[in-house]
Amino acid sequence: MSTPSDFTHTTVLLHETVDGVLSEPNGIYVDGTYGRGGHSRLLLQKLGPSGRLIAIDRDLEAIAAATTGETRVTDPRFSICHAGFADMQQQLADLGVTQVQGVLLDLGVSSPQIDNPARGFSFRFSGPLDMRMDTTRGESAADFLARADERQIAEVIRNYGEERFAAQIAKALVARRESGSAVRSTDELSKVVAGAVKTREPGQDPATRTFQALRIHVNAELEELEQGLKAALALLAPGGRLAVISFHSLEDRIVKNFITAHSKEEFDRRAPFAAPKPLALKALARIKPSAAEIKANPRSRSAVLRVAERTDAALPEPTAPRRAGRAR
């Protein structure tokens, strides 16, 4: 069994993210995707003595990295919760916190998750086809492929992987399953996809889009992101910051549209002379990794950081915080 220190992780856009989210050194901050704690550790260095950092992660290995062994965080200003960031409002309410000065989210998969064959995230390693970020809950990728029909599989691969050969891949997967040999491992899935995908962009493995799609589906990542952004906005105090790093266009589109939607004054067409509803967010920055960072860490090349600031405009009355609707 792997331990928290078995796999290394290089934090993407480290200084840009921490500088972007930090507005009040003695405030309360949320790291909604702790991972291996790169952003959290730097943020703790910059917090004042009365500052507080609450981390969240749904991966038990990330929780272990923060709480045990050489990688544990001993700073009394730090605490961590085992949950998805869509549940941050409830998690913070349980801690007596209703307002924070900053929320950061580093989306996607961490290097320790990718590089551990037992997690099943990567076609580069042979391992069980799991892909769950929280291995205590929900359905694995193999279980989904074992029960879903051809149409469901094709929709997932097309919608979440933007794969133009989704129908052919789904047909091949179902044909293999009906022959009595459903895919249960990463290399089995890779071989099926390679046989169904006839052409691919230079330098890209044929299975790249399919693995991305299944991971997003299994972990309900886009739904989690939409819920997490709403929770973050509800928690942010006026002047508080939201910083989100995304790694593919589906995520970035959701983040961009959310910030844009809350950065516009709304006019009531039924009352043309009424004052517009004030905006709730102000977009501050869109940052890509430097050439030097991409060279040092090629996995950072697709990252996009977006930073926004909460204005003092009133939000609608908040509803009671609720758990994310899907088991992870």
* 213-242 pLDDT, tens digit each: 999 999 999 999 999 999 999 999 999 999
pTM of the model: 0.88
- pLDDT of 271-317, one tens digit each? 565 555 668 999 999 999 999 999 999 989 999 999 999 997 655 54
Residue 170 and residue 157: Cα distance in Å, rounded? 8
In the predicted model, what is the mean pLDDT of residues 46-67? 97
CATH topology of domain 135-218: DNA polymerase; domain 1 (1.10.150)
Q: For 189-215, write each residue's pLDDT tens digit.
A: 999 999 999 877 777 889 999 999 999
Confidence band of 94 (pLDDT split at 50, 70, 90):
very high
**Mean pLDDT across the chain, nearest whole number?**
90
Per-residue model confidence (pLDDT) at position 108:
76
The Cα–Cα gap between 145 and 259 comes to 35
Query: Long-range contacts of range 135-144, CB-CB < 8 Å, 24 or more positions apart?
Result: 135/59, 135/60, 136/60, 137/327, 137/328, 138/218, 138/219, 138/326, 138/327, 138/328, 139/218, 140/218, 141/189, 141/214, 141/215, 141/217, 141/218, 142/182, 142/183, 142/184, 142/185, 144/214, 144/217, 144/218
β-pair type (304-310, 281-287)? antiparallel
Q: Where in the chain is the domain with CATH 3.40.50.150?
A: 14-112+221-310
Q: Looking at the domain covering 14-112+221-310, what would its CATH class be?
A: alpha beta
Q: What Å distances lie between residue 160 and 125, 149, 156, 211, CA to CA?
A: 22, 17, 6, 10
Amino acid letter, residue 94: D
Give CATH 1.10.150.170 domain extents, the chain. 135-218
